[in-house]
Structure 1
Amino acid sequence: MPFDQLKLENQLCHRLYMASNSIARAYREPLSKLNITYPQYVVMMALWEQDKITIAELLARTAIDGGAMTQILKKMVDKQLLKIIKDDQDRRKRFVQLTKEGLALKKKAASIPQQIKCNFTSINSAQVEQLMQLLDLVVGDLSE
């Protein structure tokens, strides 16, 4: 029995793993200039879209694990990029809000998506869009 089903070359999951690692490496240099990691960048993008949201909303938008989010937010508060605010009506609810420094970082980060996109020399814009749609389907199927 050849066990072809166990060869790495036959695994979708391994290709996704390699792609994820490659993308993380591509972001490393531009994000290091901003002194943030990729997960911190994801949080910032969510907050640049809509500031002062609950931690629960931030978790839903970013799909970052709750335990990891706690550590990410702590480091970002230490960097003075955001602050955590308690809700006056519900003590259990906390809001995440950008600081002046966090808002200013948006302008510095504006060119990063295009920098990363320029690394995709083998696929065109339509294929990038198709890939995003396919990955959305994969995530949707595995999230159910």
Structure 2
Amino acid sequence: MSSTQRSVATELSFALNAAANRMVRLHKPFLEPLGLTFSQYLVTLELLNGSPRSVSDLCERLDMETGTLTPLLKRLEAAGVITRTRDAVDERRVLIDLTASARGMEDELRSITDKIRTACQLTPEDLQELHRTLEGLARPAIS
């Protein structure tokens, strides 16, 4: 790899890191009143898309390790956002579900995406293109 290619790769890493940090900062004023961190918000959104879910399913979908997700789930449970129960069919599995109060925040939680899109001055088309690009980086095709 030439020094120019290394420089572009390094600059891409810095740009991705800066963008990720900006996203967390942009979400903060919308999440603080709800008592959620950015990571907790992502878990909650995923559960709004379908629950109950197993811990392993959430780990896979959110691309998190069990050691990262488990403490986060414990904090969400203590805050009354989720419940954790053993699967009646397979007691090795823990199922995560949203509480009624968390489901009551659904409209507010889902509206945050539009607020972030507006803050970033992205059209719906821009947002779709960015999402495809980021998904491609996060989950490259297996060759």
The TM-score, its normalising length taken from structure 2, stands at 0.87
- 1:37 matched to 2:37? The reply is yes
Partner of 1:134: 133
Question: What is the rounded CA distance, in whole Å, between the counterparts of 1:76 and 1:105 in structure 2?
Answer: 14
After alignment, is 37-46 or 126-135 more displaced? 126-135
Contact 1:40 1:72 in 2 (8 A): yes
Q: Which residue of 2 aligns with 1:61?
A: 61
Shift of 1:130: 1.4
1:83 is displaced (CA, Å) by: 0.7
Unaligned runs of 5+ in 1: none
The percent identity for this pair of structures is 21
Counterpart residue type for residue 111 of structure 2: S
Write out the 4+ residue segments of structure 1 that deviate beyond 4 Å after TM superposition: 3-10
Give the letter aligned to residue 64 of structure 2: I
Flag the 1:98–1:124 CA change in 2: closer, same or farther, 3 A: closer
TM-score by length of 1: 0.87
Superposition pairs for residues 26-105 of structure 1, below 5 Å?
26-105=26-105
CA shift for structure 1 position 142: 9.0
Q: Which runs of 5+ in 2 are unaligned?
A: none
Q: Which amino acid aligns with 1:126?
A: E
CA RMSD of aligned residues (A): 2.3
1:101-141 deviation per Cα after TM superposition (whole angstroms, max 9, x unaligned)? 121121332321111111122x4332222121111111123
Deviations 1:12-57 (A, max 9, x none): 1111000000011000110001000011011111111101111111
1:103-118 mapped onto 2 (5 Å cutoff):
103-118=103-118
